[in-house]
């Protein structure tokens, strides 16, 4: 006690005349009474009944997610700098074609077509114009249109206290978002690259997903964390770390690959009260909508988180994809049909947590075969989790084992070598020939042969 810094500080304050012994006695009395009351409430069986998983087996499940739709966290008008219709980017987007192809089936030029980044912009814009508590921040969010030009135009529309740049401090970005949400606000924050998730490990893995359940459902956690999955930038900026967050209970995880899905899923995330990790592929920011007839609606709409979508109908083979690999799978589907007469059904997962397996089961019951594919490294990926569940749920319907097609278990190489790292269209034919269904006359790369799989695992590559 002679060296207790608290007692020493107290003595210095008393000696300097800044406080009296009576002041500290009052503080001590307040602390003791507050803690005593908290303990009394905690041990009162009526006020704080004990949870019984025997009586209510789903008690913990019910408090992990609030699953509440709440577009406005407070009932007041949002602070804006201009009317929505006066915003230059809003006016520019209004002139764009919202579907990838014109009436003759020809692709619309990139400078005239509505893109993936425009879909994200519109969802964020709807959020800012609806929820007065919504704030968005991250590294380079306000200037230069934000990362990858998603936020271009918002600087003129949204005041600085609602959209601002943060320091390069990922832990502080996510941690402050958690605190803001616990205080009743809604946060849209960005880490720019998935590789930076490690800089906010405790905040993403321990704080963001846990507080709703730890508060017995009293608190809500309306935080959307935007994370891009890179390409072109090598080992430390081009990794798909979806498996890391999908592994953590209490987080919702989505990865849309089309403009229509991106707008609808981001709207659902921003109108909800649960933490959502929202992955985006940097390869797709300038992609146009190719699937939803009529293009992307101008008005706001929501897509339920957890529902996969069939992007191509087929009857001989199913391919389930996560993220940008969807487009390589569609290329492969064309080759399967043209070269081997195989009809391929392509399903876009869109979400990882939650995930409704019903459409996948129905597809496998029809085709008897499935490849699960994504850009994450094969080892330890969420692809394997999907494959395991599909193998269990579709055991009687499968004519071959579930095949998993991910990136190589390497550090991500330089851009000019990425075609040897990320799944390509030809890889789908290779893995199908060697693991699922032999293709007549096809000469496959040996990457998926037993001896090669054993060799790679032996050396950890």
- Is domain 309-459 in CATH 3.40.50.920, yes or no? yes
Residue 296 zone, left/alpha/beta (φ > 0; ψ -120 to 50; rest): beta
- DSSP code per residue over 77-91: PPP-SS-GGG-HHHH
Residue 90's alpha-carbon distances to 71, 81, 93, 114, 298, in angstroms, are 21, 14, 5, 12, 10
With contact defined as beta carbons under 8 Å apart, do 126 and 266 qualify? Answer: no
Rounded Cα–Cα distance for residues 461 and 454 (Å): 10
**Exactly one of 237, 247, 292, 433 is catalytic; which is it?**
237
Q: Are 328 and 315 in contact (CB under 8 A)?
A: no
Q: In this predicted structure, what is the pLDDT of residue 144?
A: 79
- Same topology, domains 84-284 and 309-459? Answer is yes
Residue with tokens 């075609």: 419
Residue 166 tokens, joined? 């943060």
Instruction: Kindly list the distances between the CA atom of residue 458 and the CA atoms of 8, 132, 383, 422, 449, in Å, as whole numbers in the listed order.
Output: 61, 55, 21, 21, 14
DSSP state of 7: H
The CATH code of the domain at 84-284 is 3.40.50.970
pLDDT tens by residue, the chain, 461 residues: 788 999 999 999 999 999 999 999 999 999 999 999 999 999 999 998 889 999 999 999 999 999 999 999 999 999 999 999 999 999 999 999 999 999 999 999 999 999 999 999 999 999 999 999 999 999 889 887 888 899 999 999 999 999 999 999 999 999 999 999 999 999 999 998 899 999 999 999 999 999 999 999 999 999 999 999 988 888 888 889 999 999 999 999 999 999 999 999 999 999 999 999 999 999 999 999 999 988 999 999 999 999 999 999 999 999 999 999 999 999 999 999 999 999 999 999 999 999 999 999 999 999 999 999 999 999 999 999 999 999 999 999 999 999 999 999 988 888 888 898 899 999 999 999 999 999 999 998 888 999 999 999 999 99
Residue 147 has what pLDDT?
Answer: 84
- Say if residue 456 is exposed, middle or buried (CB neighbours under 10 Å; 0-12, 13-18, 19+): middle
Is residue 237 among the annotated active site residues?
A: yes
pLDDT of residue 114: 96
Say whether 115 sits in a helix, a strand or coil.
strand
Residue 201 confidence (pLDDT): 93
Pairing of strands 351-353, 309-312: unpaired
pLDDT of the residue at 68: 95
CA distance 326 to 257: 7
Element at 138 (helix H, strand E)? strand 134-138
d(CA 135, CA 127): 9
- Distance between alpha carbon 125 and the CA centroid of its chain, in Å? 19
CA distance 333 to 326: 10
Cα angle for residues 445, 390, 459 (degrees, 5° grid): 40
Q: Where are the domains of the chain?
A: 1-46, 84-284, 309-459
Report the alpha-carbon distance of residue 66 to residue 274 in Å, rounded: 6
Q: Taking the CA atoms of 363, 365, 371 and 377 in sequence, report the sign of the dihedral they define.
A: positive
């Amino acid at each position: 006690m002679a060296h207790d810094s608290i007692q020493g500080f107290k003595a210095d304050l008393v000696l300097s005349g800044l406080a009296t012994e009576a002041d500290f006695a009052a503080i001590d009395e307040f602390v003791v009474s507050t803690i005593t009351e908290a303990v009394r409430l905690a041990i009162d069986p009526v006020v704080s009944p004990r949870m019984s998983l025997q009586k209510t087996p789903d008690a913990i499940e019910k408090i992990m997610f609030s699953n509440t739709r709440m577009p406005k966290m407070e009932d007041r008008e949002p602070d804006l700098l201009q009317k929505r219709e006066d915003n230059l980017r809003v006016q520019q987007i209004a002139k764009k074609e919202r579907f990838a192809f014109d009436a003759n089936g020809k692709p619309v030029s990139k400078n005239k077509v509505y893109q993936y980044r425009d879909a994200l912009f519109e969802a964020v814009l709807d959020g800012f114009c609806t929820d007065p508590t919504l704030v968005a921040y991250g590294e380079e969010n306000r200037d230069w249109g934000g990362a990858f030009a998603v936020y271009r135009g918002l600087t003129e529309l949204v005041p600085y206290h609602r959209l601002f740049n943060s320091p390069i401090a990922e832990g502080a970005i996510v941690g402050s978002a958690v605190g803001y949400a616990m205080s009743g606000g809604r946060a849209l924050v960005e880490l720019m690259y998935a590789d930076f998730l490690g800089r906010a490990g405790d905040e993403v893995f321990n704080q963001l997903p846990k507080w709703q359940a730890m508060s017995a459902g009293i608190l809500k956690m309306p935080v959307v964390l935007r994370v891009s999955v890179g390409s072109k930038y090598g080992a430390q900026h081009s990794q798909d770390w979806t498996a890391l967050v999908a592994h953590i209970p209490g987080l919702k995880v989505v990865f849309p690959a089309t403009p229509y899905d991106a707008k609808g899923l981001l709207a659902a995330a921003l109108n909800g009260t649960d933490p959502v990790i929202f992955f985006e592929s940097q390869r797709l920011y300038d992609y146009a909508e190719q699937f939803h007839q009529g293009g992307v609606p101008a008005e706001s709409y929501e897509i339920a988180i957890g529902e996969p979508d069939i992007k191509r109908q087929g009857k001989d083979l199913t391919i389930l994809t996560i993220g940008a690999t969807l487009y390589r799978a569609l290329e492969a589907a064309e080759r399967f049909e043209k070269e081997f007469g195989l009809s391929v059904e392509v399903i876009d997962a869109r979400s990882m947590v939650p995930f409704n397996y019903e459409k996948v089961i129905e597809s496998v019951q029809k085709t008897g075969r499935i490849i699960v594919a994504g850009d994450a490294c094969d080892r330890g990926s969420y692809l394997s989790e999907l494959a395991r569940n599909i193998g269990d749920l579709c055991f009687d319907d499968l004519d071959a084992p579930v095949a998993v097609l991910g990136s190589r278990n390497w550090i991500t190489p330089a851009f000019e070598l990425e075609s040897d790292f990320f799944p390509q269209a030809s890889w789908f034919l290779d893995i199908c020939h060697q693991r699922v269904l032999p293709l007549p006359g096809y000469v496959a790369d040996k990457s998926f042969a037993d001896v090669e799989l054993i060799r790679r695992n032996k050396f950890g590559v």
